[in-house]
């Protein structure tokens, strides 16, 4: 593998399109566009190219963390120009609230045996880092060749544990966000961009 690439995102390139502004304006629960569809596409293509270089010739298994990462994983996998395998895990750490409970539970385990495989965990967002710390430890115990992490979003400044992320899409401010797979109470996952969520609109 090549040198570790710690992506820092492209904070200057998040300008929302007119359709996105219209959508967040029409819904009082949506604040502002945090990452527009265009920026998501560009960053996903760039990360896919990095992964393609780093894993050339290695058996790569993408492990998506359900449900939030499903959309990013679908787009990311198409930006990786290598044969990849897929598996998914579902963990529960949030329930329907917008605050972390700190409790991680495996709701759906992997189907594929990890021995000898290069595992790339694909996460939607790293908040406290508790979910990821648990997952990494759990997967490392299954004898894989390697375990690395690709997180679409990292909420700035809140990680209680060093998350050691190999690929990062965007570092974002503290607001709770929805869209592009991320939900609040199962809503907003299909939004094609990421917006801040307003719990009690005035
Ligand atoms: P952590 O364990 O505190 O890092 O929480 C990570 C998980 O919480 C993510 O995988 C998400 O499922 C969920 N989460 C954290 N922040 C947000 C958010 O702003 N919107 C939607 N889900 C979130
Ligand atoms: Mg969630």
Cα(126) to centroid(ligand 1), Å? 6
d(CA 190, CA 202): 25
Return all residues near 183 (Cβ < 8 A) that are at least 6 apart. 67, 68, 189
pLDDT tier at 169 (50, 70, 90 boundaries)?
A: very high
**Cβ atoms 75, 51 nearer than 8 A:** no
- Give the model's pLDDT for residue 24: 93
d(CA 43, CA 181): 16
Give the rounded distance of the alpha carbon of 76 from its chain centre: 10
- Beta-bridged to residue 149, according to DSSP, are 121
Name the residue with higher pLDDT: 177 or 134. Answer: 177
Q: Edge-to-edge strands of the sheet including 177-178?
A: 30-35, 194-197, 177-178
Ligand nearest to the CA of 95: 2
- C-beta 128 within 6 A of ligand 1: yes
Residues 87-137 have pLDDT tens digits of 999 988 655 555 565 668 899 999 999 999 999 999 999 988 888 988 999
CA dihedral 44, 84, 136, 109 (to 10 degrees): 120
- Give the model's pLDDT for residue 74: 98
**Of the candidates 5, 120, 144, 199, the residue with the CA atom closest to the CA atom of residue 188:** 199
- Give the model's pLDDT for residue 7: 39
- C-beta 196 within 6 A of ligand 1: no
Return all residues near 87 (Cβ < 8 A) that are at least 6 apart. 61, 62, 63, 64, 110, 111, 112
- C-beta 150 within 6 A of ligand 1: no
Ligand 1 pocket test: pick from 32, 94, 107 the residue with the most ligand atoms within 8 Å of its Cβ.
94
Buried b (16+ CB within 10 A) or exposed e, 112-148: eebeebbbbbbbbbbbbbbbbbbbbebbeeeebeebb
- C-beta 130 within 6 A of ligand 1: yes
- C-beta 34 within 6 A of ligand 1: no
For tokens 């199962």, name the residue.
186
Ligand nearest to the CA of 178: 1
d(CA 176, CA 185): 13
pLDDT tier at 14 (50, 70, 90 boundaries)?
A: low
Residues 16-70 have pLDDT tens digits of 888 999 999 999 999 999 999 999 999 999 999 999 999 999 999 999 999 999 9
* Confidence check: pLDDT of 86 > 50: yes
Q: What's the average model confidence in pLDDT over 151-179? A: 87
- Give the model's pLDDT for residue 8: 40
d(CA 10, CA 35): 10
pLDDT tier at 11 (50, 70, 90 boundaries)?
A: very low
Cα(189) to centroid(ligand 2), Å? 9
- Give the model's pLDDT for residue 157: 76
**Cβ atoms 191, 178 nearer than 8 A:** yes
* Confidence check: pLDDT of 159 > 90: no
* Confidence check: pLDDT of 164 > 80: yes
d(CA 65, CA 108): 10
Q: Is 127 a catalytic residue?
A: yes
């Amino acid at each position: 593998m090549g040198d570790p690439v710690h992506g820092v995102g492209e904070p200057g390139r998040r300008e929302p399109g007119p359709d996105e502004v219209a959508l967040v304006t029409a819904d009082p629960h949506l604040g502002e566009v945090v990452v527009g569809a265009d920026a998501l596409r560009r960053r996903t293509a760039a990360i896919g190219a990095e992964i393609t270089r780093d894993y050339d010739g290695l058996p790569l298994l993408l492990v998506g963390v359900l449900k939030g990462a499903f959309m990013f994983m679908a787009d990311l996998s198409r930006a990786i120009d290598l044969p990849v395998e897929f598996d998914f895990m579902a963990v529960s750490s949030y329930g329907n609230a917008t605050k972390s409970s700190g409790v991680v539970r495996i709701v759906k385990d992997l189907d594929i045996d990890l021995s000898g495989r290069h595992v790339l965990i694909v996460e939607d967002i790293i908040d406290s880092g508790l979910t990821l710390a648990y997952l990494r430890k759990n997967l490392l115990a299954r004898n894989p060749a390697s375990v690395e992490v690709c997180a679409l979003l990292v909420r700035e400044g809140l990680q209680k544990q060093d998350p050691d992320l190999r690929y990062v899409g965007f570092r974002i401010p503290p607001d709770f966000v929805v869209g592009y797979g991320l939900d609040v109470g199962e809503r907003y996952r299909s939004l094609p961009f990421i917006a801040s969520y307003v719990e009690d609109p005035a």
